[in-house]
């Protein structure tokens, strides 16, 4: 169980003395407000507030967010009001707590009945992304203590976590949080599938953990020999839920999983990353098609890293990720890693929104029917995403099962309606071909073509493309 002393230790390392004083004040206020309150686990309520604030401090969030994490349940669960918070801590912390409180008003009964809460969530995110980050920090501790909750509520919270909060963390580039939430929810939502996955990999994990240590030593020795300064080098075990989904895609064959344990190398400079990859490719043969440069071409959510898979001395394949310290922080905590730039608008009202969040806000305004709204959200937000490229190297993010037509309509309505063919990786292909991550897509158009084909409605995966096709057909 985390204590306030644990929180103070992490704060003292990363924050100014006056910031720590504000958190001490917030702690005493929250302690007084929650005095005598117990959680179903039997622990004093204040420990949940401390854990939420600790999670935010680990992400190196700004001090207002950490204070709001300590205070987030005060107005809802105690006699103290929002006005009490405002008079003691100012309008910024008051607004953050208010935003978090608004998100917890509706019980989850499946996504179809969750539309209004999702609308509130996206609106809060568009105004200040810190609100959803605080909610994610709160949800992690709720999931860690889920055993203390009655069974039917436990399942509801776990489903909401798996179907709503984990995908949101993923979209925000917060991969550590996404994996934590998925792995905490998995055994409650799919207990049999969880047991099957764990039994399948138990022996493999033991053997791979041993050889990844050997690979780590050899890698360290090789890089040091070439004067590459290493910040850290460690084995990273794939998330259990993420592994389960990959097993389903690979026909449940665990031998087709190459990244059960990956080696993550964190270096000082970008140039060192490319040098390190060259050195390791000289030592071990890379697998064809498994070398990916997300530094030169980052994913749309900002993820940057070099990825390669190599044949090692042990006749085994290992995935290696190479990145800088800054890239590693951003890969772990996504948009939260940018909180230090809040003063220039990254998380405040003037921030430049993520493109998918702009798209969500557009859906909010234009689609009033909740059933239709949920359809859009499911397709365009919560499906697994792929990353494809334009011929100029720009990255386009689309849901799995997207086709060249989805790509064309994503670029522009006119490109879509005038589309007569497509090339994938310089090869002519059908318009209904399913795209894969890393594909380079070129759309061939005919300026004389005025309208889309009605059959296209069955070829596209995104609601955005379907709506544009319908709109153009209706005009005809």
> Is 422:439 a contact under the CB 8 Å cutoff?
no
Q: Where are the alpha helices (DSSP H) in 35-146?
A: 46-58, 63-71, 74-77, 82-89, 91-102, 115-127, 130-144
Same domain, 169 and 261: no
- Residue 208 shares a structural domain with residue 158: no
d(Cα 399, Cα 387) in Å, to the nearest integer?
Answer: 9
| Radius of gyration for the chain, computed over Cα atoms and rounded to the nearest angstrom | 24
* Per-residue model confidence as pLDDT tens digits over 330-374: 888 877 776 544 433 444 443 444 667 777 777 777 778 887 777
377 occurs within a structural domain:
no
SS3 139: helix
CATH code for the domain in which residue 266 is found:
3.30.460.10
For residue 172, count other CB atoms closer than 10 A to its CB.
24
CA distances in angstroms from 66 to 6, 80, 95, 369, listed in the order given = 14, 19, 13, 37
Are 459 and 445 in the same domain?
yes
Clarify whether residues 114 and 169 are in a common domain: yes
- Asked if residue 42 and residue 167 are part of one domain, the reply reads yes
- Evaluate whether residue 368 is within a structural domain: no
pLDDT digits (tens, 9 = 90+) for 449-463: 878 888 999 999 887
Arithmetic mean of pLDDT, 294-301: 83
Q: Say which CATH number the domain at 122 has.
A: 1.10.3210.10
Question: Are residues 176 and 34 part of one domain?
Answer: yes
Same domain, 168 and 239: no
Domain-located, residue 71: yes
Count of C-beta atoms within a 10 Å radius of residue 205: 15
Both 100 and 115 in a single domain? yes
Give the residue numbers annotated as catalytic, written as ranges. 76-77
Total domain count, the chain: 3
466 with 457: CB under 8 angstroms? yes
Is pTM beyond 0.75 here? yes
Q: Say if residue 184 is in the same domain as residue 254.
A: no
Domain that holds residue 204: 194-331
The CATH number that applies at residue 427 is 3.10.20.30
In angstroms, the CA 278 to CA 406 distance is 36
**Do 399 and 384 touch, CB atoms closer than 8 A?**
yes
Q: Is residue 376 situated within a structural domain?
A: no
What is the number of alpha carbons within 13 Å of residue 379 lying toward its C-beta? 19
Which among 291, 310, 331 is the end of a domain?
331
Average pLDDT over residues 378-389: 74
Question: Which one of 266-270, 285-289, 311-315, 459-463 scores highest in mean pLDDT?
Answer: 266-270
Instruction: Answer yes or no: do 160 and 239 share one domain.
Output: no
Please report whether residue 27 resides in a domain: yes
């Amino acid at each position: 169980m985390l204590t306030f002393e644990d929180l103070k230790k992490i704060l003292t390392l990363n924050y100014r003395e006056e910031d720590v004083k504000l958190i001490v004040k917030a702690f005493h206020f929250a302690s007084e407000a929650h005095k005598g309150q117990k959680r179903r686990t039997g622990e004093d309520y204040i420990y949940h507030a401390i854990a939420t604030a600790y999670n935010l401090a680990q992400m190196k969030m700004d001090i207002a967010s950490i204070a709001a994490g300590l205070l987030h349940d005060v107005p809802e669960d105690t006699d103290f009001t929002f006005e009490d918070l405002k008079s003691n801590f100012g309008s910024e912390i008051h607004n953050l707590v208010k935003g978090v409180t608004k998100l917890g008003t509706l019980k989850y009964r499946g996504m179809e009945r969750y539309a209004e809460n999702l609308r509130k969530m996206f609106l809060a995110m568009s105004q200040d992304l810190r609100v959803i980050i605080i909610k994610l920090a709160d949800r992690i501790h709720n999931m860690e203590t889920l055993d203390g909750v009655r069974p039917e509520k436990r399942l509801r919270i776990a489903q909401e976590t798996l179907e709503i909060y984990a995908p949101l963390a993923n979209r925000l580039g917060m991969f550590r949080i996404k994996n934590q939430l998925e792995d905490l929810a998995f055994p409650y939502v799919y207990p049999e599938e969880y047991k099957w996955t764990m039994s399948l990999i138990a022996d493999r994990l033991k053997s791979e953990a041993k050889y990844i240590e050997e690979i780590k030593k050899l890698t360290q020795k090789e890089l040091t020999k070439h004067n590459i300064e290493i910040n850290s080098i460690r084995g990273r075990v794939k998330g259990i839920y993420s592994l389960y989904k990959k097993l389903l895609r690979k026909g449940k064959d665990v031998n087709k999983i190459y990244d059960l344990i990956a080696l993550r190398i964190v270096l000082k400079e970008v140039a060192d990353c490319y040098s390190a990859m060259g050195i390791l490719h000289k030592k071990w043969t890379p697998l064809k098609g498994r070398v990916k440069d997300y530094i030169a071409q980052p994913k749309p959510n900002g993820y940057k890293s070099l990825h390669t898979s190599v044949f090692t001395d042990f006749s085994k394949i290992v995935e290696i990720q190479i990145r800088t310290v800054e890239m590693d922080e951003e890969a772990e905590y996504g948009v939260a890693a940018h909180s230090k730039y809040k003063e220039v608008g990254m998380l405040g009202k003037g921030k430049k929104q993520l493109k998918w969040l702009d798209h969500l806000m557009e859906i909010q305004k234009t689609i009033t029917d909740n059933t239709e709204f949920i359809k859009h959200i499911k397709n365009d937000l919560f499906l697994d995403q792929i990353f494809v490229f334009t011929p100029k190297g720009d990255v386009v993010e689309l849901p799995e099962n997207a086709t060249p037509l989805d790509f064309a309509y994503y670029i522009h309505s006119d490109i879509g309606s005038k589309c007569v063919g497509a090339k994938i990786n310089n090869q002519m292909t059908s318009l209904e071909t399913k795209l894969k991550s890393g594909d380079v897509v070129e759309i061939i158009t005919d300026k004389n073509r005025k309208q889309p084909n009605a059959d296209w409605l069955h070829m596209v995966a995104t609601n955005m493309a379907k709506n544009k096709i319908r709109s153009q057909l209706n005009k005809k």
